[in-house]
Amino acid sequence: MLRSADFWTGVAFALCGGFLFFIAQEYSMGTPQRIGPGYFPSGVSALLFLLGVFIAGKSVLAPGEKMDPLNPRALMVIVAIVLFAFLLRSFGLFLTAIITSVVSSMASSEGTWKQAILIAVAVGVLVTVIFGVLLGVQINLWPRWM
Amino acid sequence: MDLLANLALGFDVALTPTNVLYCFIGVTVGTFIGVLPGVGAMTTVSILLPLTFGLDPVTALIMLAGIYYGALYGGSTASILVNLPGTPASAVVCIDGYPMAQQGRAAPALVITTIASFVGASISLFVIALISPLLADFAMTFRAPDYFSMMVVGLLAAASVANKSKLKSVGMILLGIMIGLVGIDRNSGVIRYNFGIHELMDGIGFIVVAMGIFGIAEVLNNVGSIRDRGTMLHSVKWRQLLPTREDLRATWRPILRGTGIGSVLGALPGTGSTLASFMAYSVEKKVADKPERFGRGAIEGVAAPEAANNSASQTAFIPTLTLGIPGDAMMALMLGALVIHGITPGPNVIYEHAPLFWGLVASMWIGNLLLLLLNLPLIGMWVRMLRIPYRALFPTIVVLICIGVFASGNQTFDVMVVAFFGLVGYLLIRFGCEPAPLLLGLILGPMMEQYLRRSMILSRGDPAIFVQSPISAVFLAIAALMLLYMIRDAFRTRQGIPGTAE
């Protein structure tokens, strides 16, 4: 049961639904004639909760497919994106793009550092030219200190 | 006569140099990413959408639509040459396209896909032109409860074609609706679900969610599983680029059948091009004299699905543009693009924005013509594209998504939101949930709340209005049937497991 994809989906849906329903109670329900901001979210999140319970309950009877294991290495991509968000303003597009590209390359077990850096520099040049020069997107291209 | 006048207006708009240029860019970019395995049209459209903010709405839509059907075309090229479907809709083309390539008939297979796409596109152009005004006129009579119930049907239809669990897809829809509610409630001014985060006051943009759950989650899911292996490429012999008379005789009927199937399925909510191409394939296999040829390089098995997925990709615009009901995630993105450009979706679009509507329709024919003229000479280039390894591609995609998201609102906060939805999307994929219904819920959710509110005002708080209005009652009956079918489906799979164990 603990490896069933359905079970965890159900649990996730029920937890989200329950949590969102709980929050929705802070918003006014209004009257049937003039429904308030809490009416629709309460209904939808209650449905989500019930559906989650149903899916999880059903999986206890018949576990269904096993969950595919997560690939922890792939999460380097998330790290890379968060870095992008933090570095962009001070480091500028060129350097940030290179760093993001190198860090996301770590998500793959294939390839070498040298390749990753080569790809990253190519990406950095490419996006700086396309977005900075050609499209004129409002981003500082170079680090603040330069 | 109206039909011709409308199409003339459309071609007038679509043939301006700017629009032809963007159509060209769209189909070229589309073919490019369609050829590359592991990069979806959804990701590309969401990256490029923020860059179209400065364009005319019609120009923007022409380009985005070009990416969509260009990707379908490129996907088939990859299917035939290396047996790797670039898009889900092209998976079926592998079955007979790749054996054709192995037999040294890659060139005729590629030519037939182009011709089939073009014929499919040309015929479905007339289907759109004929049906859209009728459907829009019918939808004009809809009132708030009818719209609400129609959206329920549209969403359930999207969930009911899910490959995996249909009930899980319903959950994804509900989750999408909830995400759509984040931010200020237009009616009461109450800020909902912002968890004290100031930046969430304006809500979460659908582009940001789409890039997270499609773009980033796709990368996370692929990065461990796409192995860069030396792909065997089949050479294309140039002398064979002209189809033989025999090929044409064998394929004209399958192309027409595929077009018919595609046009009908494309226009229905929730089906779309993937289902259309699979359906067209199985129909061809059924009507063939020698069904055993299928899977071993039958040219009909390439022609029919290709015609079907192209016509479906075009008629999919009918419900999107006339009713405001997107049939799949790509159409949801198109609908979102309309909204961003300040156009309220619904039956009025075809009248109030006639140049946009007909210009887009006409551009799809021009785009397919461009594909026909350009792609055959460019096949050599696409073949070389297939050699780009995924480990070089995915860091590029990640950086492009980051920039695209940033450009959509000039906020680094949005980049963090993409990281969040990327992670959530990855978990959901591993849970066996499909991300497409979430996006549909996200786009339609806020509209449903509005229609619910208006319905309740109309009826003075009596929910019976949803069954008293005949149109709404019919929609709700359909919705109930679909729901029953989904629940039965869920229990059937449960009972199926001990059955297979015996």
Q: Which of B389, B391, B494 sits opposite A62 (nearest CB)?
A: B494
Other CB atoms within 10 Å distance of the CB of residue A134 = 9
CA B17 to each of CA A51, B26, B48, B275, B434: distance values in angstroms, whole numbers, following the listed order: 52, 14, 20, 35, 39
**Chain-chain contact of A110 with B193 (C-beta, under 8 angstroms):** no
Q: Is residue A54 part of a domain?
A: yes
Candidate from A4-13, A101-110, B227-236, B422-431 with smallest mean pLDDT:
B227-236
Distance CA B106, CA B299 (A): 11
Do residues A76 and A130 both lie within one domain? yes
pLDDT digits (tens, 9 = 90+) for B346-403: 888 888 888 999 999 999 999 989 988 877 777 777 777 777 788 888 898 899 889 8
Do residues A77 and A125 both lie within one domain? yes
Residue B436 CA to its chain's centroid (Å): 10
Q: Which amino acid is at B414?
A: D
What is the pLDDT at residue B452? 92
Q: Is residue B138 part of a domain?
A: yes
**Contact status, residue B272 vs residue B265, Cβ threshold 8 Å:** yes
In the predicted model, is pLDDT for residue B497 greater than 50? no
Number of CB pairs, chain A paired with chain B, less than 8 A apart? 218
What is the pLDDT at residue B330? 86
Q: What is the nearest CA distance from B461 to chain A, expressed in angstroms?
A: 4
Q: Is residue A33 part of a domain?
A: yes
Q: Which of A27, A81, A108 sits opposite B216 (nearest CB)?
A: A81
Q: Which of A27, A93, A111 sits opposite B391 (nearest CB)?
A: A111
Per-residue pLDDT band at B219 (split at 50, 70, 90): confident
Per-residue pLDDT band at B232 (split at 50, 70, 90): low
Helix locations, B288-328, DSSP H:
300-315, 317-322
Q: Is residue B306 part of a domain?
A: yes
Distance CA A15, CA A56 (A): 11
Q: Write out chain A residues lying below 8 Å of B456, CB-based.
A: 32-35
pLDDT digits (tens, 9 = 90+) for B24-58: 999 998 888 888 766 778 888 888 888 888 888 99
In the predicted model, is pLDDT for residue A19 greater than 90? yes
Do residues A43 and A96 both lie within one domain? no
Token representation of residue B197: 């985060």
> Considering its fold, how many domains does chain A have in total?
2
Residue B284's Cβ-side half-sphere holds a number of Cα atoms within 13 Å equal to 37
Query: Which residues, 6+ apart, have CB-to-CB distance to B13 below 8 Å?
Result: B19, B58, B355, B356, B358, B359, B362, B363
Distance CA B274, CA B262 (A): 10
Q: What is the nearest CA distance from B294 to chain A, expressed in angstroms?
A: 31
**Chain-chain contact of B168 with A70 (C-beta, under 8 angstroms):** no
First to last CA, chain B: 64
Q: In degrees, to the nearest 5, what angle opens at C-alpha B265 toward C-alphas B259 and B271?
A: 135
Distance CA B120, CA B69 (A): 12
What does the DSSP assignment read for B120-182? HHHHHHHHHHHHHHHHHHHHHT--HHHHHHHHHHHHHHHHHT-SS-HHHHHHHHHHHHHHHT-
What is the pLDDT at residue A1? 61
Per-residue pLDDT band at B22 (split at 50, 70, 90): very high
Do residues A23 and A56 both lie within one domain? yes
What is the pLDDT at residue B495? 45
What does the DSSP assignment read for B208-244? HHHIIIIIIHHHHHHHTT--------PPPPGGGGSPP
Distance CA B130, CA B126 (A): 6
- Mean pLDDT computed over B458-483: 90
Q: Is residue A52 part of a domain?
A: yes
Mutate to test the interface with B, among A84, A95, A138 (most CBs of B within 10 A): A84
Q: Chain-wide mean pLDDT for chain A?
A: 87
**Chain-chain contact of B431 with A67 (C-beta, under 8 angstroms):** yes
Q: Chain-wide mean pLDDT for chain B?
A: 84
Query: Which residues, 6+ apart, have CB-to-CB distance to B367 below 8 Å?
Result: B23, B26, B27, B62, B65, B66, B69, B70, B121
In the predicted model, is pLDDT for residue B230 greater than 50? no
pLDDT digits (tens, 9 = 90+) for B323-345: 888 878 888 889 888 888 888 88
In the predicted model, is pLDDT for residue B235 greater than 70? no
What is the pLDDT at residue B226? 63
Q: Is residue A79 part of a domain?
A: yes
**Chain-chain contact of B422 with A108 (C-beta, under 8 angstroms):** no
Q: Is residue A56 part of a domain?
A: yes
Do residues A55 and A99 both lie within one domain? no
**Beta partners for B184?**
B191
Q: Write out chain A residues lying below 8 Å of B185, CB-based.
A: 27, 37
Q: Is residue B43 part of a domain?
A: yes
What is the pLDDT at residue B499? 35
Q: Is residue B497 part of a domain?
A: no
Q: Which of B400, B445, B456 sits opposite A32 (nearest CB)?
A: B456
**Chain-chain contact of B398 with A104 (C-beta, under 8 angstroms):** yes
**Residues composing chain B:** 502
Do residues A39 and A78 both lie within one domain? no
pLDDT digits (tens, 9 = 90+) for B73-83: 888 887 888 77
In the predicted model, is pLDDT for residue A46 greater than 90? yes
Q: What is the nearest CA distance from A94 to chain B, expressed in angstroms?
A: 11
Do residues A115 and A90 both lie within one domain? yes
What domain range is A38 assigned to? 5-61
Q: Write out chain B residues lying below 8 Å of A119, CB-based.
A: 391-392, 395-396
Q: Is residue B347 part of a domain?
A: yes
In the predicted model, is pLDDT for residue B501 greater than 60? no
Do residues A78 and A55 both lie within one domain? no
Give this complex's ipTM.
0.92
> Considering its fold, how many domains does chain B have in total?
1
Do residues A30 and A76 both lie within one domain? no
What does the DSSP assignment read for A23-83? HHTTS--B-SSSB-TTHHHHHHHHHHHHHHHHHHHHHHH---SBPPPP-GGGGHHHHHHHH
Q: Is residue B418 part of a domain?
A: yes
Q: Is residue A139 part of a domain?
A: no
Distance CA B15, CA A44 (A): 46
Q: Is residue A50 part of a domain?
A: yes
CA-wise closest residue to A107 among B230, B413, B86, B225: B225
Q: What is the nearest CA distance from A145 to chain B, expressed in angstroms?
A: 20
What is the pLDDT at residue B149? 92
Other CB atoms within 10 Å distance of the CB of residue B497 = 12
Other CB atoms within 10 Å distance of the CB of residue B223 = 26
Q: What is the nearest CA distance from A143 to chain B, expressed in angstroms?
A: 16
Per-residue pLDDT band at B416 (split at 50, 70, 90): very high
**Contact status, residue B132 vs residue B306, Cβ threshold 8 Å:** no
Q: Is residue B28 part of a domain?
A: yes
What is the pLDDT at residue B271? 65
**Chain-chain contact of B167 with A51 (C-beta, under 8 angstroms):** yes
Among A61, A84, A105, the domain boundary falls at: A61
Residue, of B341 and B241, whose pLDDT is higher: B341
Q: Write out chain B residues lying below 8 Å of A52, CB-based.
A: 171
Q: Is residue B167 part of a domain?
A: yes
**Chain-chain contact of A41 with B406 (C-beta, under 8 angstroms):** no
What domain range is B135 assigned to? 2-226+237-491
| Buried-exposed string B20-37: b where 16+ CB fall within 10 A, e elsewhere | bebbbbbbbbbbbbbbbb
In the predicted model, is pLDDT for residue B474 greater than 50? yes
In the predicted model, is pLDDT for residue B500 greater than 70? no
In the predicted model, is pLDDT for residue B417 greater than 90? yes
Distance CA A5, CA B493 (A): 14
Q: Is residue A27 part of a domain?
A: yes
**Chain-chain contact of A110 with B170 (C-beta, under 8 angstroms):** no
**Chain-chain contact of A40 with B452 (C-beta, under 8 angstroms):** yes
In the predicted model, is pLDDT for residue A133 greater than 60? yes
